[in-house]
Amino acid sequence: MESKEIAVHFLRNITLEPIARKLKNYGKIDNQTYEVTFSNYQPLDEGFFSISNKIGNNSPEYIFGFIWIDYSKFHKPSELFEYLNQVVELAKLMPTKNIFLNNLIPYSPAKGLTPNSSEASLIDLGNQELYKLTKDISNIVLINLNDIINTIGLNSAYDVRFWYMYKQPFTNLFFEELAKEINSKVSSPKTKQVKVIVLDCDNTLWGGVVGEEGPTNIRIGDGAFPDNAYKDFQLQIKRLKEFGILLAISSKNNESDVIEVFEKNQNMVLKYEDFVTTRINWDDKAGNILSISKELNLSLESFLFIDDSKFEIESIRKQIPEIQTYQIPEDKFKICKSFEEVVSNFDLNFSQTSNLRLESYKAERIRQDVKSGYSSLDDFLNTLQIEIKIDRVQNVDINRSAELIQRTNQFNSTGEKLSISEFKAKLVSENCEYFTLRASDKYGDYGLVGLVSINNQTDFSEIDSFMLSCRILGRKVEYAFLHEIIRHYLPKRIMIVKFRFIENSKNKQVRDFLDTLGFEKASSDTFSSDRLSLLNMLKYPENYTIEIGRK
């Protein structure tokens, strides 16, 4: 098999040349050939500015902007923040490149390996700011040098002799570990989109079996091992919940026993309310997970199942091959470390609306319970008091809109995935206009759940992309969204409406939607209809409240 060629260019103001040989050695293991180049010695912002003006087809795919800062030049945190913002903004000028940046670490080995208190505080604040600046930029990856330093030790990471002789602060061992980290990021890009984590309880969320040991005697807490390991694992899970990942339980247990743990054990980090749904019974776990997937209306490919039992893990893999799994290691010392390695491959696209997901799905459970009491869908929808607001994309919408583009699969007309930078570029296109849909009902706020782009031409308008979050489907909102877009945002002269549709294995619902509306296929990826017929077909409940924003 022919090896994969990977070009990495380092922007630097210190000597980093030893990394080249280390990367090439790791490349041989993974059948990859690294071409490593280095900039001249220059400040990082100047390096990014210089290379952004030279980007072409033959330029490196990966660019590592190595941050090495003399903190004495910054008299207050705001000055450091301004510098970091300038670096990130310059990096964003290259949306088609994969950018690596590192977190801030102490500056000069000659001044001591441990920074003084003021420098340590500045480094900590700077790292927090750097994370905020980069967390929503899909093509920028932060490399945590502190993890490397903590792994090999301070004295094994820095070398004062090399610093004075070659302006090279790091040891060969440090470069070895850094090359390993870079190679892992290149070899295993973050492509796993995890939306739901389904957890077992006994010997997974806590140590021991609650049915035998009781709710207050299970192993979890700040005390002796393994109590502390299980508590730290729950902290990891809690953090993922804060990134918008939904939590669920599938456990072979008596439900009352499990609930009692959450109610009575004061050492639990996770609370029962943190879980969007539970299946605590003696049924087959595969059936439980399928039931959870149906309830949440989320693809099984976005599920991660965690259990301590090899039997249960293998059973799930055989019955639901598309699901991702993680088995709690027998050596409980390794729980957090091995799970962190799994998490490192997740696509954690955090947005402010992510924190609303749990409440949204809990509200959905109430809706479904109410729905079961109605004989017809329209009767049920008329009770929801749905309110819809349609508006042009505003700055505050960009992160959530990009997240919707990245994560929506089932009702996505093209399946195309755009980074935030690519999405911003399309927003300023002369022919392309983007509009958002927000929705709420008497049970709660769905948030920003719809996005459409239209391309108005002289004699027709094209729906270039059309997508809705799965949590709003089944309410005929797609009918209202398209109807109001055509009515308010297409020029009055336009009588032909085209709809771009790229079929894939996941977006059959969009094709069914087009067929229901009478669209006719005009080309391989274009459907067409006349405006008046389309408006007549786009029926939705009359008591929906529609608010139209800027025209």
**pLDDT tens, per residue, the chain with 551 residues:** 566 788 999 999 999 999 999 999 988 877 788 999 999 999 888 888 777 666 544 578 899 999 998 888 898 999 999 999 999 988 887 776 889 999 998 876 655 556 677 788 899 899 889 988 887 676 788 898 988 888 888 889 998 889 989 999 999 999 999 999 898 878 655 456 788 999 999 999 999 999 999 999 999 998 889 999 999 999 999 988 877 789 999 999 999 999 999 999 999 999 999 999 999 999 999 999 999 998 887 888 889 999 999 999 999 998 998 898 999 998 888 898 888 878 866 765 544 444 556 667 777 777 777 777 888 888 888 888 999 999 999 888 888 898 889 888 889 999 988 877 778 888 877 678 999 999 999 888 888 999 999 998 888 999 999 999 988 888 999 999 999 999 999 999 999 999 999 998 889 999 999 999 999 999 999 999 999 999 999 999 888 999 998 87
CATH-assigned architecture of domain 196-343 = 3-Layer(aba) Sandwich (3.40)
Distance separating alpha carbons of residues 53 and 61, to the nearest angstrom: 15
Q: Are 154 and 113 in contact (CB under 8 A)?
A: yes
Q: What CATH number does the domain located at 368-548 have?
A: 3.40.630.30
CA proximity to 473, closest of 278, 294, 301: 294
Residue 390, burial from CB neighbour count under 10 angstroms (0-12, 13-18, 19+) = buried
Distance CA 136, CA 192 (A): 16
Q: Which two tokens stand for residue 534?
A: 């389309």
Identify the H or E element spanning 502.
Answer: none
CATH of 4-187 among 3.40.50.740, 3.40.50.1110, 2.30.30.140, 3.40.50.720: 3.40.50.1110
Q: Closest Cα partner for 52 from 7, 106, 89, 6?
A: 89
Q: What stretches of 192-344 adopt beta strand conformation (E)? A: 196-199, 246-252, 275-281, 303-307, 324-327
Residue ranges matching CATH 3.40.50.1110 in the chain:
4-187
Write out the residue limits of the CATH 3.40.50.1000 domain(s) in the chain: 196-343
- Closest CA relative to residue 216, chosen from 256, 268, 252: 268
User: Do residues 243 and 232 lie in contact, with contact meaning Cβ atoms separated by under 8 Å?
Assistant: no
Q: How many CB atoms lie within 10 A of CB 189?
A: 12
Which residues of the chain form CATH 3.40.630.30?
Answer: 368-548
CA atoms of 209 and 203, how far apart (whole Å)? 7
Measure Cα distances from 362 to 41, 273, 275, 296 in Å: 55, 10, 9, 10
**pTM for the model:** 0.52
Pairwise CA distance, residues 7 & 11, whole Å? 13
